[in-house]
Amino acid sequence: MTSLPNRAESPGSTVRIAVDAMGTDSHPGYEVRAAMQALDLRDMHITLVGDEKKIRAYLAKGLADEKRLSILHADEVVEMHDPPAASVRRKKNSSMNVAVRLLKDGKVDAVLSAGNTGAMVCSTSLNLGLLPGVERPGIGVPIPTRRGWSLLIDVGSNIDVKPIHLLQYAVMGAEYWKLINNVPNPAIGLLNVGEEESKGTELLRGVHALLDRSHLNFTGNLDGKDLYHGNCDVVVCDGFTGNVALKVSESLASTFGYFLKRELGRTPLRRLGALLAAGAFKDIKEQTDYAEKGGAPLLGVNGTVMICHGGSPVKAVRNAIAGVHDLVSNRLNEKIAKVITEEMRFLSEG
Amino acid sequence: MTSLPNRAESPGSTVRIAVDAMGTDSHPGYEVRAAMQALDLRDMHITLVGDEKKIRAYLAKGLADEKRLSILHADEVVEMHDPPAASVRRKKNSSMNVAVRLLKDGKVDAVLSAGNTGAMVCSTSLNLGLLPGVERPGIGVPIPTRRGWSLLIDVGSNIDVKPIHLLQYAVMGAEYWKLINNVPNPAIGLLNVGEEESKGTELLRGVHALLDRSHLNFTGNLDGKDLYHGNCDVVVCDGFTGNVALKVSESLASTFGYFLKRELGRTPLRRLGALLAAGAFKDIKEQTDYAEKGGAPLLGVNGTVMICHGGSPVKAVRNAIAGVHDLVSNRLNEKIAKVITEEMRFLSEG
């Protein structure tokens, strides 16, 4: 590991964030711009981890606050096709793993990466461990609905699940949602193939029973057909199902955009119509823009960890960095550890 | 069971179809209209099963060919909330179960229902049994993609799966796709959380290995993000995953429509734009209209069975009835039984 030549001493109250600068499809340019913009939003210190020469080239184009922004050189990059577990061992000097070890060593308070999600889950789980009482980490992703936003958790951190894992996703997702949206008692839904309690696999019936007994505001099974109606704040599922639901939605949304563009472009009249109605398309895009929401927290690891989509625009990374700051300053993980411990004790007594 | 007072004697070559007339949200009106329209499309005999008085009321409104259309009275209706397995035992005189037993007794060649899907799977599986060699039935649903249509199988017939079930879905889906689309060697994809062979659950790695060894045109894992790109003809998954993928897609599509309507209606200018571009929206609707494709075949049961969405419009039911005719006249089930037997022998020898 390289030393920290440019790292400013952070005062105790300043949140320190390590950003893997080599994660987005447009790295490190997007990460550099996002970091500079994020510094305007929050009082914090950012360490950009990655190819120092490339990072400096982008920094030179903007105004960088050297006291609040450092660079830590890392030789390697975890690629999207790298096997997650192996990448932790074989690419010790990758920007992702160096950034995660900064958190492990207490040199920063949080870490963010838009790189290989599986590798990030492995690296943080192995290096940081899990919060007391947590059995599996989960990735929560905000999804746009008719009534605002919901959190879908887990979307792929863990595909080999037990009922207790999904119960814990619900607890962690609820704490996260309370914190970022000021919702006192988030409504929890369990993604299933129907609303009736008896629906779904044995696993899901087990989760249903646990959620029913818990202190959570559990509203029952959520049929897939209602996911985007927004009746729940937090929607719980296993990582395989959540990953498929999220990616199939991405696929459908982009295909719908493709159809719209193709069909609206076919005649001059349609093109004129599209021009006059452009404000509507812009408004829909804004209302459903995940970039506004930033990244997806990896909840349950012993450290504040944010994951971004590899295709994130600068705005998404910027907002994710600001979001990470807020999770640290509001001590989300302390709250999660406390509530998980209480809930597990309560359920084991019942 | 009531007798068949109105049933015309069907000549050997005429395909005879029993239609559960009480399945759609607008039963039996939609079923009656669909049946009458379908008789214009194909040479066949249809038995409408359900409340005779209500059915006659709708028939009186249109021209019914009494020689080609019969009514079989059934007292009960399987409701959407009825538990599937129990409905087979407790509602023996329901339109669905009476229709299925017509097929069991050889009085018709196929059965169609837009009622409770789970109940239809149970009723047909229990009454008809499965095709030789088939271990689980699967529901295949056509989904619109950028490059035409794909078949997603299974979307909820069976949520407790083994690798061999998904292999069989691939075989059955391929035979169906060959028949209805004249595709000689359909491309098969396995819905997964990534493209690499190692991705997904143990179950999916098992399916991947089986598909790799089979005679099928297996193109590997299909990442959820590519589902609507249309690179595969047949997309295989377990019933839970397929049900979530399908319903989440329905939810997103309807929510997108909701957003469009809301935002396009906000100002006079946008409304004018929407009017000028109306042809584009109409074209997209037509290109992605599942009603064109009719219903979803329940493949693997020992009998030709078609399932429709409860919310189907008349056109969907009409096209589904015509589709059923074609499956019977082209002897789909004989082909499936033959290929399944060959494939199972081949895989057991390997």
pLDDT surpasses 80 at A227:
yes
Chain A residues closer than 8 Å to B290 by CB: none
Distance CA B225, CA B230 (A): 11
Res B140: pLDDT: 98
Res B11: pLDDT: 43
Distance CA B120, CA B255 (A): 29
Res B2: pLDDT: 37
Q: What is the 3-state secondary structure (H, E, C) of A204-225?
A: HHHHHHHHHHCCCEEEEEEEHH
What lies within 8 Å, CB to CB, of A162 at 6+ separation is A135, A203, A206
Q: Which of B244, B274, B288 sits opposite A245 (nearest CB)?
A: B244
Whether the CB-CB separation of B234 and B188 falls below 8 Å is answered with: yes
pLDDT surpasses 60 at A5:
no
* Tens of pLDDT, residues A289-345: 999 898 999 999 999 999 999 999 999 999 999 999 999 999 999 999 999 999 999
Alpha carbon separation from A203 to A160, A190, B108, B251 (Å, rounded):
11, 12, 40, 24
pLDDT surpasses 50 at B122:
yes
Distance CA B320, CA B348 (A): 36
Distance CA B238, CA A193 (A): 12
Mutation target among A154, A196, A202, A249 for the B interface, most CBs of B within 10 A: A249
Distance, in angstroms, between A285 CA and closest chain B CA?
A: 10
* Tens of pLDDT, residues B274-296: 999 999 999 999 999 999 898 99
pLDDT surpasses 80 at A104:
yes
Chain B residues closer than 8 Å to A246 by CB: 224
Distance CA A72, CA A99 (A): 9
CA nearest B99: which of B163, B168, B35?
B35
pLDDT surpasses 70 at B12:
no
Res B64: pLDDT: 65
pLDDT surpasses 90 at B222:
yes
Over range B303-329, report the average pLDDT. 97
pLDDT surpasses 60 at B158:
yes
Please state the pTM of the whole predicted model. 0.93
pLDDT surpasses 80 at A268:
yes
pLDDT surpasses 50 at B5:
no
Q: Look at residue A15 and give its three-state secondary structure.
A: strand
**DSSP annotation string for B106-167:** TS-SEEEE-S-HHHHHHHHHHHH-B-TT--S-EEEEEEEETTEEEEEE-SSS-SS--HHHHH
Cis, bond preceding B109 (omega within 30 deg of 0) = no
Residue A160, burial from CB neighbour count under 10 angstroms (0-12, 13-18, 19+): exposed
pLDDT surpasses 90 at A67:
no
Whether the CB-CB separation of B4 and B46 falls below 8 Å is answered with: no
pLDDT surpasses 50 at B4:
no
Res A129: pLDDT: 98
If you measure CA to CA, which chain A residue comes closest to B284? A259
Chain B residues closer than 8 Å to A232 by CB: none
Cis, bond preceding B132 (omega within 30 deg of 0) = no
Whether B193 sits inside 8 A of A244 (CB atoms) is yes
When the pLDDT of each residue in chain B is averaged and rounded to a whole number, the result is 93
When the pLDDT of each residue in chain A is averaged and rounded to a whole number, the result is 93
Chain A residues closer than 8 Å to B229 by CB: 251, 255
Structure tokens that stand for A109 in this block: 């308070």
Q: Which of B223, B237, B243 sits opposite A193 (nearest CB)?
A: B243
Mutation target among A248, A262, A309 for the B interface, most CBs of B within 10 A: A248
Chain A residues closer than 8 Å to B269 by CB: 276-277, 279
* Tens of pLDDT, residues A163-215: 999 999 999 999 999 999 999 999 999 999 999 888 999 999 999 999 999 99
Q: In the structure, what pLDDT confidence band is assigned to residue B255 with cuts at 50, 70 and 90? A: very high
Over range A236-264, report the average pLDDT. 97
Structure tokens that stand for A26 in this block: 């447009």
Provide, rounded to the nearest whole percent, the portion of chain B with pLDDT above 70: 95
Whether the CB-CB separation of A147 and A230 falls below 8 Å is answered with: yes
Chain B residues closer than 8 Å to A223 by CB: 247
Chain A residues closer than 8 Å to B258 by CB: 146
Whether A227 sits inside 8 A of B247 (CB atoms) is yes
Whether the CB-CB separation of A153 and A242 falls below 8 Å is answered with: yes
Res B350: pLDDT: 66
Q: Which of A202, A226, A276 sits opposite B273 (nearest CB)?
A: A276
* ipTM exceeding the 0.90 mark: yes
Q: Which of A226, A248, A284 sits opposite B249 (nearest CB)?
A: A248
Res A9: pLDDT: 39
Distance, in angstroms, between A75 CA and closest chain B CA?
A: 26
Whether B224 sits inside 8 A of A246 (CB atoms) is yes
Chain A residues closer than 8 Å to B79 by CB: none
* Tens of pLDDT, residues A82-94: 999 999 999 999 9
Q: Which of B229, B252, B280 sits opposite A264 (nearest CB)?
A: B280
Whether A249 sits inside 8 A of B248 (CB atoms) is yes
Whether A252 sits inside 8 A of B228 (CB atoms) is yes
Alpha carbon separation from B8 to A6, B72, B107, B204 (Å, rounded):
90, 11, 11, 49
Res A119: pLDDT: 97
Res A12: pLDDT: 54
Distance CA B215, CA B178 (A): 15
* Tens of pLDDT, residues B191-215: 999 998 889 999 999 999 999 999 9
Higher pLDDT, B212 or A3: B212
